Amino acid sequence: MSGHSKWATTKHKKAVIDAKRGKLFAKLIKNIEVAARQGGGDLAGNPTLFDAVQKAKKSSVPNDNIDRAVKRGSGAEAGGADYSTIMYELYGPQGVAFLVECLTDNKNRAAMEVRTAVTRNGGTMADPGSVSRLFERKGVVVLAKESEGTQVSEDDVLEATLDAGAEEVNDLGDAWEVLSEATDVVDVRQALQAANLDYDSADVHFVASLEIPVDADAAAKVFRLVDALEDLDDVQNVFTNVSVSDEVMAALEG
């Protein structure tokens, strides 16, 4: 799974860089509003909201912004938008499949912007269902390999999470990624907390069941398309089945 790990590592590092940008803040705030709208504003009783707030705090979103988002979403404060989730399916270079998850209060705007970004960056829109069948919904928990000066080993992670539903642990370089069934993500996260292992994020993602290896030229085009999509305000997540080898990644970085 070297390709997956390397791609995930790139995404992880990119997220750290993007954390400095207000665009990511806006997307994290939107997640909090939606979670609070769907499950209420009590973090103890709404694990989805708990994880959305945790992720925002890890990305240095100010507490005032987080509190206001919770209040807007739960109805305690006016001004919350009515967001809808839309999934777009598309193909990129060398047949790489993309799932694009949007959270928007204007479906027509989201559709137009996604189509424009795809067309301008060498992709093609796909028929509904043709791409989504290549992915599975999985719980994804990421935790740093070093916590408060203590090294966290793969065995530590497995020991803490196996009984909670962990299926696989991947090496992301400076972090561990724990995959589980989507319904087990909260249990896995809570198991890490019970073992005093700090986690960076706990989400439900679409993970490819079959990956497509690409050369350096195609990888560069895939990354460019991902960047163009992630730059759109309505796009929350971009999932792809690309597999980028260590050699290809080294060539791109070089």
Concatenated DSSP letters of 32-98: HHHHHHHH-S-GGG-HHHHHHHHHHHHTT--HHHHHHHHHHHHTSSS-----EEEEEEEE-GGG-EE
Concatenated DSSP letters of 148-214: TTEE--HHHHHHHHGGGTEEEEEE-SSEEEEEEEGGGHHHHHHHHHHTT---SEEEEEEEESS-EE-
pLDDT above 70 covers a percentage of the chain that reads: 91
pLDDT band at 15 (very low <50, low <70, confident <90, very high): low
Which pLDDT score is estimated for 11? Answer: 62
Q: pTM (2 decimals)?
A: 0.84
Q: CATH 3.30.70.980 in the chain, residues?
A: 84-133+210-244, 135-208
Tell whether domain 135-208 is in CATH 3.30.70.980. Answer: yes
On the question of pLDDT at 17 being above 60, the answer is: no
Which pLDDT score is estimated for 16? Answer: 53
Q: Considering the domain 2-74 in this protein, what is its CATH number? A: 1.10.10.200
Mean pLDDT, to the nearest integer, of 131-151? 90
Q: Name the CATH topology of 84-133+210-244.
A: Alpha-Beta Plaits (3.30.70)
